[in-house]
Structure 1
Amino acid sequence: MKTTDITLVFQGAVKPYVTREHDDFARNIRLTRKVLPGARIVLSTWAGTELPPGLQVDAVVESADPGGLAPLKLGDSKANNINRQLLSTRAGLAAVETPYAAKLRTDCRLEHGGFIDYYREQLALDDGRDRLLASSFFTLDPSMFERLPFHLSDWFQFGPTPLLRDYWAAPPMSAKDARLYESQDHAAGSTVFERQFRARFAVEQHLCLHFAHGRGYTVPSFLNDVSDTVLMDYRRFLAQDAMLLDPWQIGLRFDKYGWVGNSPFQRLNNLMHLDWLALANPTLAGVADPAPLHALIEARRRQKALARGAFAHSRALHGLLFDPNRPHHPVRRLAARMVRHLARG
């Protein structure tokens, strides 16, 4: 695999100037070009978009905006943009002519190409069998705080171009599914985070479950369907068809969500590279000295088990602990210290 075998598809809205959030698409392209100088770059955005002058992309694909849906969560005001994301990603991937493709957001960039090295190593371990590489943030761990199986991150994805096209072939989300939990109760026992959802599935689930179902996996029938069969097949899907890398292993720089990497809560809530290794390569075949890595994986398991227990036993306090309007309450501060302690192991 050479860099000339890869096309980077940047998907999303673009502004020709540096925004108040400090988004700078022209900079993202310029810096990414330095990292992968041989790769092609495709921008997939909306018809009528004003582009920065001198933008260094190989192709621009413009699509008619299909519009947004009702906000994903009940307390949100921002539109659910899943159908926009589906349409523009598909259009960008349709313009790819190289064997491999990577899908990124326009507010991201690459600061190194580590994902290529990791992918090559995994190809060798798998005797040439391809996988879909994705970011650990936000690939949720359904045994933790948000029990949403098949929630594979869409921040960054890499793999053979036909595989990515298959992944992004899901049908649009219907207006009915986008509002399911306005008229229907969440499942009994849903956590405080799961009860926030308006839509039948999270955006990432909608994409992943259509792909996984087409490959024969048992997928959730509702948002937090954590039946034994679904969880077993989610683990099997991750072990056999996916590959998870942490953003710093990928080389992904996502300033807008820089806080996620520093959040002990999110490090526990998501499936990190260590968690994926435990699923995909439990014997650590191919690792020269597996003992230290085994020790890290075991420490991670204990860490998550303690966090799960603490979360389950504090259920009566969840309304207070996770109320964004009361960030300085003493109980919240105590819980935050506990999470930081657990995350450090």
Structure 2
Amino acid sequence: MKTLTIVFQGPTGEPGMLSPEVRDNILQTRRFFPDAEMIVSSWRMTSVADEALQRAMDAIQVRLILSDDPGVIIGSDEAGEYRCNVNRLLCSSRAGLVAATRPLAVKIRTDSRLNGRELECAINRYVVQRGGPERHPHYQIFRDRVINASWFARDARGSLPFLYHPGDILLAGRTEDLRLFFSAPLAGAELFQPSSIPGVWIPWRYVPEQWLWVHAIRNVSGRTVYQGGLRYTEQELHDSECYFLNNFVPFSPRQLKLRWPKYWRCYPLRGLFSTMTFSRWSQLHAWYQHGQRGAPYRMPDRMLTALWRAGYILRVKLLKKTIVRRLMIRLFSHHR
């Protein structure tokens, strides 16, 4: 697609190095999108390292955008330290998208790749041709819908009831819309505010995806629609769903031919029955269009979700114990 920019965001390997994995991800993606503009957006290291990385990118004809590293946000309690990379995600994604020169864009991670052209079909149908259910004007934030990989795109009726939580692994749509998604201000240490809703314990008031999406909505509407990981009302649940339905279309990684090995290495089956799949998106649209009669999802889906959520509610009770949180940080923290 000559109208498309693909922005790879994230680390590229050791300072000054383009790792074989990242290089292969770029070249494999280019194989299926040979006409797309390719950008890698990462962070400055040293002048020597940055020049070496630039030469490596020049060799494969990829534009390199480097930003100052904002670092991680660190919070702590008696169990240990909690790290959040939201500012790194925000700065590098925004810088890459600002540099994009095409009207359509994809934002993916440097440790992922596209193994087919299925994403192009989704962009053409839901973005270029504006297909799908009619959008409600009150909830429109983006000019057109944005394609979203369902990894970590949370369904508030799922087993992990997060509100305002699209996925950040892959987004594709109008370049101006992706720039808007990454238009939030930098987050500060005040983001650390351990809070919980039934079935969820998190050390952050907003997780990165929530921080980005809530501020994108605020930048367009002037409204702060959600105050963070606290208890919420039925109206807030309704609004969260409607903002997602009217601005995103979720697809599974398989449907998009998206490969991200870290998921299977670090997060296998985590959050099962918690994500907004294309099937759930379609069912929820139909449920709202038909006056919210009955239940939005089919019975087997609801039963499995309820069973999985019961397990998460038990986990939250355990996480309130300091020794359990300390063990979980050691075993499952991937932000080093």
Shorter chain as denominator, the TM-score bin is: 0.7 to 0.9
Cα deviation, residue 215, structure 1: 4.3
Cα deviation, residue 9, structure 1: 0.6
Measure, in 1, the Cα distance between the counterparts of 2:76 and 2:145. Answer: 29
Cα deviation, residue 73, structure 1: 9.9
Which of 17, 32, 42 does residue 45 from structure 1 map onto? 42
TM-score, normalised by the number of residues in structure 2: 0.77
1:120 aligns with 2:133: no
Q: Which residue of 2 aligns with 1:334?
A: none
TM-score, normalised by the number of residues in structure 1: 0.75
Which of 2, 5, 8 does residue 7 from structure 1 map onto? 5
Cα deviation, residue 267, structure 1: 3.8
Q: Could you tell which deviates more after superposition, 91-100 or 44-53? A: 44-53
Specify whether residues 180 and 260 from structure 1 end up closer, same or farther in structure 2 by C-alpha distance, changes over 3 A only.
Answer: closer
Which of 277, 293, 314 does residue 282 from structure 2 map onto? 277
Question: For residue 276 of structure 2, what is the amino acid of its counterpart?
Answer: L
Specify whether residues 273 and 224 from structure 1 end up closer, same or farther in structure 2 by C-alpha distance, changes over 3 A only.
Answer: farther
Cα deviation, residue 154, structure 1: 0.5
Measure, in 2, the Cα distance between the counterparts of 1:207 and 1:72. Answer: 23
Cα deviation, residue 38, structure 1: 0.4
SS in structure 2 at match of 1:149:
coil
Contact 1:7 1:96 in 2 (8 A): yes
Deviations 1:45-88 (A, max 9, x none): 11134538364243111111111111599967563111111111
Q: Which residue of 2 aligns with 1:137?
A: 151
Contact 1:107 1:254 in 2 (8 A): yes
Identity %: 24
Unaligned runs of 5+ in 2: 136-142, 290-294, 329-336
Deviations 1:129-150 (A, max 9, x none): 7211111111112223322101
Deviations 1:141-165 (A, max 9, x none): 2223322101110000011111111
Measure, in 2, the Cα distance between the counterparts of 1:113 and 1:65. Answer: 33
Q: Could you tell which deviates more after superposition, 308-317 or 136-145? A: 308-317
Unaligned runs of 5+ in 1: 285-297, 327-345
1:161 aligns with 2:183: no
Cα deviation, residue 306, structure 1: 0.9
Measure, in 2, the Cα distance between the counterparts of 1:275 and 1:218. Answer: 26
RMSD: 3.3
Deviations 1:68-111 (A, max 9, x none): 11159996756311111111111111111100111011101110
Measure, in 2, the Cα distance between the counterparts of 1:107 and 1:120. Answer: 25
Contact 1:101 1:159 in 2 (8 A): yes
Cα deviation, residue 199, structure 1: 1.4
Specify whether residues 78 and 53 from structure 1 end up closer, same or farther in structure 2 by C-alpha distance, changes over 3 A only.
Answer: farther
Measure, in 2, the Cα distance between the counterparts of 1:262 and 1:229. Answer: 33
Question: For residue 41 of structure 1, what is the amino acid of its counterpart?
Answer: M
Measure, in 1, the Cα distance between the counterparts of 2:161 and 2:35. Answer: 40
SS in structure 1 at match of 2:2:
helix
1:1-345 matches, within 5 Å, as: 3-15=1-13, 16=17, 18=19, 24-48=21-45, 49=50, 50-51=52-53, 53=56, 55-70=59-74, 79-122=83-126, 123-126=129-132, 130-177=144-191, 179-181=192-194, 186-187=195-196, 190-191=198-199, 194-195=200-201, 197-216=202-221, 219-258=225-264, 263=269, 266-280=271-285, 301-311=298-308, 317-318=314-315
Cα deviation, residue 315, structure 1: 7.4
Count of matched residue positions in the alignment of Structure 1 and Structure 2 = 297
Measure, in 2, the Cα distance between the counterparts of 1:96 and 1:32. Answer: 17
Question: For residue 241 of structure 2, what is the amino acid of its counterpart?
Answer: R
Larger RCO: 1 or 2 (CA < 8 Å, sep 6+): 2
Query: Hey, which of these two has a bigger chunk of strand by percent?
Result: 2
Measure, in 1, the Cα distance between the counterparts of 2:179 and 2:247. Answer: 15
Contact 2:75 2:81 in 1 (8 A): yes
Cα deviation, residue 207, structure 1: 0.6
Question: For residue 39 of structure 1, what is the amino acid of its counterpart?
Answer: A
Q: Could you tell which deviates more after superposition, 209-218 or 111-120? A: 209-218
Contact 2:160 2:309 in 1 (8 A): no
